[in-house]
Amino acid sequence: MNRLIFIIAAILVWQVGGRLFLTDAPSAAAAFPPVTGAEFQEHEKYTEDARRSQRQDALKALDLAWSDRCGANRDSFISGLNHYYYHRQNQNERYPETYGPAGAAYIAGVWTTAEDRRIERLTQEAYAGGYIKPSDFDGMASQMVATIVRGERVRGRGCAG
């Protein structure tokens, strides 16, 4: 009988202790408070100029003559694209982590300007021409380039000559 009372008391203490000291895991909705849009603006005033510069650098690289994409100028060509695609991929990963679904929707819209679509099209052309491949780029940038050129077929020999 003493054992039974001891077991019941231990279960009660365990239940009460569990309720007092253990908290429930937050739900996904609680993890991301409602987003009003003002959260982006504080950070965006700094990154809008950076995005503009990254787009200009990428377009400058993509506007090089086909012959300047190989040889001595190749590093400059790849670097201009790498910088753009690195930041684009990084922001596409970080905004959803920071702001949840609202951040994902926001950043997806930010990277779909006419210039971004032009950069994507020119990147696909460079890939199809054999001038670039995703492995030419650093980690994050290579992920984004691989996504952009998915479905494209390499038809040219580019720098392989």
34-81: per-residue pLDDT in tens? Answer: 666 666 677 777 888 899 999 999 999 999 888 888 888 898 899 999
* Residue 5 banded pLDDT, cuts 50, 70, 90: confident
State the pLDDT at residue 54: 94
State the pLDDT at residue 8: 74
CB-based contact 99:111 (threshold 8 Å): no
Q: Where are the beta strands (DSSP E) in the chain?
A: none
How big is the CA angle at 59 (ends 55 and 65), to the nearest 5 degrees?
165
> Cα–Cα distance between 6 and 161 in angstroms, integer?
84
State the first-to-last Cα distance of the chain, in angstroms, to the nearest integer.
Answer: 90
The overall average pLDDT reported for the chain is 84
**In sequence order, which ranges of the chain are alpha helices (DSSP H)?**
2-21, 28-31, 38-62, 74-99, 101-110, 114-128, 139-149
SS3 24: coil
The 10s digit of each residue's pLDDT in 8-27 is 777 777 777 667 666 655 55
Within its chain, how far is the Cα of 76 from the centroid?
A: 23
Mean pLDDT of 115-138: 95
Axis-axis angle for helices 139-149, 114-128 (nearest 10)? 80
Within its chain, how far is the Cα of 48 from the centroid?
A: 16
The domain spans of the chain are 37-150
